[in-house]
Structure 1
Amino acid sequence: MPRLPRLTPDTAVGASRDLLADLVSRHGQIGDMVSTMAHSPAVLGGYFQLSRAMGRAKLDRKISERLSIAVQALQGCELCLDAHVSAARALGVDEEEIERAHAGTSADPAIAAIITLALQIYREPTSITDEQVIALRAHGYSDRAVADVVGVVALNILTGAFNLLAGLTPGAGLTAGSDTGA
C-alpha cells in the first residue's frame, strides 16, 4: 500500500503544481511515481533533469536496460524492475539475457563487463580499477559510455529508492510509465 498519496495539479502546491500541470497538458496523464514525487519539487525536478539528460547517453538502450535490471534486482524495487524488464523485451532483448541481467551478468563478455561496472558503482565504487576501465575501452566502450553508466545507476537509485520509500509496488493499482512516471 502506498505510504505517500498521489498528487495532482489541483492538490500539489508551488513548483510541483506547475510541473504536474505541464505534464498533464503535454501527456494527458502522469504515472504514480511522478505524481507521488510531487511532494518534493526538488526530487521531482531532479528526476526530470536526470531522466532527460540520460536520454542523451551514448549507451545502447538494450545495454542500459540490462544495467537497470541488474541494479533494480539488487535494490529491490519491483515496480522499476518490471518496467525495465518490459522495456528490455520491447527492445528485443531475449528472455535469457534478461535473466542474466537479473543475475548481474550477460553471455556477451562486453555487456557482462559493463554490468559488472554498474553493480560496482552501486555497491562499492572504490573497488573500480584502472584495468577495468582499460578493459571496457578494449570492449569498444568510449569514455563517454563508461561515464554514462554512473548516470544510469544514479537514475535507478533515485527511482527505486523513491518507489520503495513511497510504497509504490506493481499490481497495487499503480502504473509504470516512461519518463512521465515509472
Structure 2
Amino acid sequence: MPRLTRLTPDTAVGASRDLLAELASRHGRLGDMVSTMAHSPAVLGGYLQLSRAMGRAKLDRKVSERISIAVQTQQGCGLCLDAHISAARALGVDEDEIDRAREGTSADPAIAAIVALALQVYREPTSITDEQIDALREHGFGDRAIADVAGVVALNILTGSFNLLAGLTPGGDRDA
C-alpha cells in the first residue's frame, strides 16, 4: 500500500506542478514513481536530471540493465527490479544472463567484472582497488564507462530507496 499519495499537475504546486505538466505533455501519462516524487521538487528534479544524463552514458544499455538488476536485487525494490528485468529482456538479454545479473555476475568475464564493481560501489566503495580498475581497462572499459558505473548505481539507489520509502510495489505503473 503506498505511503505517499500521487500528485498530478492539478494537485501539485510550484516547481513540481511545472515538472509534472511537462512530463504529462511529453509522455501522455505519469507513472506512480514520478507522481509520488512530486512531493519534493528537489527529488523529482534531481531524478529527472540524473536519468536524462545517464541516458547519455557510455556503458552499453545491456550492461547498464544488468548492473541495475544486480543493484536492485540487493536493494530490494521489486518495482525497480521488475522494470529493469523487463528492459533487459526488451534489449535481448537472455534469461540465463538475467539470472546471473540477479546473482551479481555474468558468463562474460568483462560484464561480470563491471557488475562486481557496481555492487562494490553500492555496498563498500572503499574496497575498490587500483588493480580492479586496471582489470576493467584490460577488459576494454574506458574511464568514461567506469565512471558511468557510479551514475548507474546512484540512479538505482535513488529510485529504489524512494520507491521503498513511498511504499510503491510491482503491479502498478512501472516507471522506475
**TM-score with structure 1 setting the length:** 0.96
Residue 35 of structure 1 deviates from its aligned partner by 0.2
Q: Which runs of 5+ in 2 are unaligned?
A: none
Instruction: Confirm whether residue 125 of structure 1 aligns to residue 125 of structure 2.
Output: yes
Structure 1 match to 2:114: 114
Mapping of residues 19-30 of structure 1, within 5 Å: 19-30=19-30
Mapping of residues 36-51 of structure 1, within 5 Å: 36-51=36-51
Counterpart CA distance in 2 for 1:149 and 1:26 is 28
- Deviation above 2 Å: which 4+ runs of structure 1? none
Counterpart CA distance in 1 for 2:24 and 2:131 is 47
Residue 143 of structure 1 deviates from its aligned partner by 0.4
Structure 1 match to 2:73: 73
Residue 159 of structure 1 deviates from its aligned partner by 0.1
**Structure 2 counterpart SS, 1:107:** coil
Q: Match of 2:107, as an amino acid?
A: A
What's the % identity of the aligned pairs? 82
Structure 2 match to 1:5: 5
Structure 2 match to 1:175: 173
Structure 2 match to 1:142: 142
Residue 25 of structure 1 deviates from its aligned partner by 1.2
1:21-56: CA deviations, max 9, x gaps?
A: 111111110110000000000000000000000000
Residue 129 of structure 1 deviates from its aligned partner by 0.1
Residue 72 of structure 1 deviates from its aligned partner by 0.1
**TM-score with structure 2 setting the length:** 0.99
Counterpart CA distance in 2 for 1:106 and 1:25 is 39
Tell me how many residue pairs correspond in the alignment: 176
Counterpart CA distance in 2 for 1:151 and 1:92 is 23
